Amino acid sequence: MAATTNSTAPQTGAQAVIASAVDPARRPDVLLRKRRAEGHEISAWWMVGAFVAVSAAVVSLLSWVPGGS
């Protein structure tokens, strides 16, 4: 049984990379996302420190709210 080629059928399988493809992380409408080179990723400790700082700020601001215990 011979396979027929249908030009209207969707193409499946591996496809070639387009040379003019735009990296989505470098689009101008993406504000807080940037792809960095290998070895230049942000340290996870910055995220831990930011979480602790925001949590401390929220707790300290909530201590000014009257009616708390």
For the whole prediction, is pTM greater than 0.85? no
Give the per-residue pLDDT at 29. 67
Contact between 35 and 25 under an 8 Å Cβ cutoff? The reply is yes
Radius of gyration of the chain (CA): 25
d(CA 50, CA 34): 19
Q: Is the pLDDT of residue 55 over 80?
A: yes
Per the structure block, which two tokens stand in for 46? 């910055």
Give the per-residue pLDDT at 46. 93
| Residues 25-39 pLDDT 10s | 666 666 776 677 777
Q: Is the pLDDT of residue 59 over 80?
A: yes
Q: Is the pLDDT of residue 24 over 70?
A: no
Of the two residues 60 and 11, the one the predictor is more confident about is: 60
- Taking the C-alpha atoms of 45, 51, 57 and 58 in order, what is their torsion angle to the nearest 10 degrees? -170
